[in-house]
Amino acid sequence: MHHEQLTENLTVRQRDDEGYRKWYLNSYFDLIVWYSSKGGALIGFQICYSRNFQEKAFTWTPQYRSNRLVSDTYFEKGVSHMSSGILEGEGGLIPENVIQKFVFESNNLEVEEKKLVVDKMTDYNAALLLRKS
pLDDT tens, position by position, 78-132: 444 444 444 444 667 899 999 999 999 999 999 999 999 999 999 989 988 887 7
Domain enclosing residue 91, as ranges: 7-132
Q: pTM of the predicted model, to two decimals? A: 0.82
Number of domains in the chain: 1
In the chain, the percentage of residues whose pLDDT exceeds 70 is 78
For residue 64, pLDDT beyond 90? no
Structural domain includes residue 19: yes
Rounded mean pLDDT, 54-76: 68
Mean pLDDT to the nearest integer, 18-23: 92
Please indicate, yes or no, if residue 2 is contained in any of the structural domains.
Answer: no
> Which residue from 24, 4, 13, 11 is spatially nearest to 109, judged by alpha carbons?
24
**Residue 25, pLDDT score:** 94
**Helical packing angle, 111-132 and 96-105, nearest 10°:** 180
Q: What is the mean pLDDT of the chain?
A: 82
pLDDT at 133: 66
Q: Domain for residue 32, yes or no?
A: yes
| Contact residues for 102 (Cβ-Cβ < 8 A; gap 6+) | 29, 47, 49, 117, 118, 121
Tell me whether residue 1 is in a domain: no
Residue 70 is assigned to a structural domain of this protein: yes
The secondary structure of 10-56 as a DSSP string is TT----GGG-EEEEEE-SSEEEEEEESSTTS-EEEEEEEESTTSS-E
pLDDT at 108 (0 to 100): 96
Average confidence (pLDDT) over 46-58: 82
